[in-house]
Every structure is written in C-alpha cells, then in structure tokens.
A = this chain, B = another copy of it.
Amino acid sequence: MQITVLAGGIGGSRFIRGLQRALEQDHPGSQITVIGNTGDDIWIHGLRVCPDLDTVMYTLGGGISAERGWGREDETFTVKDELAAYGVEPSWFGLGDRDIATHLIRTQSLRAGYTLTDVTAALCERWQPGVRLLPMSDDRAETHVVVDDPSGATAPDGAPLRTAIHFQEWWIRYRAELPAHEFILVGIDEARPGPDVLSTISEADLVILPPSNPVVSVGTILQVPGIAEAVRTTSAPVVGVSPIVGGAPVRGMADACLRTIGVETTAAAVAAHYGARSAEGVLDAWLMDTRDAEQVPAVEALGITTRAVPTMMTDIDATAALARECLSAGAVLARA
C-alpha cells in the first residue's frame, strides 16, 4: 500500500517509526511518503536549517538523539560555543556540530541551485530513512509569531508594541511562553507544493495526520496552496491521531499554539478544527486516547469516524499498535 503522512518533527517521526514496524509485519512492500513541514525552517549563522525534515530523517535513519528527540546522538556543541565566544547572535539555537554538516551540505546545494526536495533526497541517501521524504514546498514559507515586543517597548499611548519573530525564536528562546497574538506564514501565498506532493496525496491508499502539532506543523502543511484541497479530494481515507491527551499536549507546546488560534486544548476541539471531509475539512477518522473517550460522541457528531484507543507512543510496540489502529480505521473506511 501507499501511505502518505503529513508530519512535523518529533511526534510525527516517532509515529512513522511505529507505522514502518506495523507495515513490515502486516503489509510488507508498502511505501510511505512523508510530506514534511518546512515552516520552521530558519537561516542560522548563514546555514539553512530544516528542523522538522531533519528530525524525520535522523529519527528514521537511526541518527536522532534518543534523549532530546531532536538533533544527533552523541552531539557536541563546539561550533556553537565558539560562535558565542565571538559574541554573535543568535545564541539560543541548538546548533550541534554533527548537525552542522547536514546544514552545510544543504546550504551549499541550495545556493548552487538545487531544490530543497533534491537536497533532502540527497541527504537521505546517507540516512536511508525507509520513506520518501518530501518537503511540503521548495519555496520559502516561514512561520513567524506576532508577540508584544520582548524589549517591553510601548507606543506613545502606552500600549505594547507588537513585533513578529521567527517561530524558532518563539519556540526555543521563549519556550512558547511569550503570548502569541497570531502566526504569520511569510510567503505561504506564493508557495507551491513540492514536486509529487499533491500526487502522493491524491494517489495514496491512506493519508495519515499523525500526532504532530496541529497548528504549526500539520496546520502549516495544510496551508500550502493546493495541499488541503488535495487532502479533501483524495480517494484515500484520511485518518488523524490526536496529539492532545487529557487536555494537554503529549509533548511540545501545542497548547500555546492552539490558544493563539482560538482552539481549545482538547482532542475533540482539534478534531473540530481539522473538520470532517464531509464538511470542507480534512478528516474521515480521528483516533484519540482512551482517556478522552467521553469526547467520542462530540467528534462523531461532526461526521468524523472516531475511536478511543491507546495513543501514547511509549515504545516501538505501542507505537506500532497505534499505527495499526490507523490502518484498521482506514481499511474500514475504504470498504465503506
């Protein structure tokens, strides 16, 4: 089978690892295409860094730091420390030495005129992630966050001045604790889906929205012109997994993101935000944690097939079991 997954970083990558395990056992020969979020991409010290693409690549390729969930195992930070000794900013980004090799190759290749899709494929030749990893777009479309100016600057009338900072600065430097008024996807209107992105959605046997951040990961991918439409119109079932369990994100700071767009931090509210395909949304089915079982009827009422299952990806077996629930939900829908 052909499965297409719209993924952010850590949550998406871990889910895909479980999906690979489930497919190896139940559907050998299946192929997974991952459409990766590039809204978090950033230029740091002249290097083009693609955090979500790299998290997918390193996680599936066996190079990820198991402890941090991002960046490389056995990482060192010599270059970062030296940059700090020079006093150059930014100093808050966790630029690891091993990781820098990836960024150097990417940056040089992009400057030479290769597309991010090409570069990502070239990097994956080393990592062999076992999936086809496609950036959502080869065009620059970056998430910026409107906040009150962190310096405390105010207008003449005493009102806080607002400023837009890069998502990474908000996420890492301010740990998403600085109230966000709005997310702005700079360049999204002109961004085109990467090559094969639309066709891998429309020609898939199953499309999965894994438990990635529904706002700044999956939400960003869906805002690339044409992608949401492709998800709405594919003949494949579309199954989502809630990243919210018991009213809180399993990891990351999705609650701060949801608050910004006015969505409650509950599994049902996220499902409603994605919406039913039958009502201009993107979901056919929604899996949420057994702890949130009482929310099932509310989501079903939206026209979304809903199941309460164990969603905690505590280890590879639990994650494969969750992936099997997705496959099963998809199979039921495909037969319907």
- A residues contacting B by CB (< 8 A) are 45-47, 76, 78-79, 82-83, 85-88, 97-98, 100-102, 104-105, 107-108, 111, 123, 126
Contact = CB atoms under 8 A, between A and B. Distances in A.
A82 B74 CA distance: 12
A294 B11 CA distance: 77
Given A83-B105, A86-B101, A100-B100, 13 more contacts: A45-B105, A45-B108, A46-B111, A47-B104, A76-B78, A78-B78, A78-B97, A79-B97, A79-B98, A82-B97, A82-B102, A83-B104, A86-B102
A102 to B, nearest CB: 8
A105 B85 CA distance: 12
A210 to B, nearest CB: 28
Q: Which 10 A-B pairs have the closest CB atoms?
A: A82-B101, A46-B108, A78-B97, A45-B104, A83-B101, A82-B98, A79-B101, A79-B100, A86-B126, A97-B97
Contact of A46 (B83, B98, B102, B107): B107
A295 B213 CA distance: 78
A88 B105 contact: yes
A108 B79 CA distance: 15
Counting every copy of the chain, the complex holds: 2
Contacts of A126: 85-87
Contacts of A105: 45, 83, 86, 88
Contacts of A47: 104
A18 to B, nearest CB: 27
A86 B45 contact: no
Contacts of A46: 104, 107-108, 111
Contacts of A82: 97-98, 100-102
A104 B87 contact: no
16 contacts: A45-B104, A45-B105, A46-B104, A46-B111, A76-B76, A76-B78, A76-B97, A82-B97, A82-B100, A82-B102, A83-B104, A85-B126, A86-B102, A86-B126, A87-B126, A100-B100
Contacts of A111: 46
Nearest to A107: B46
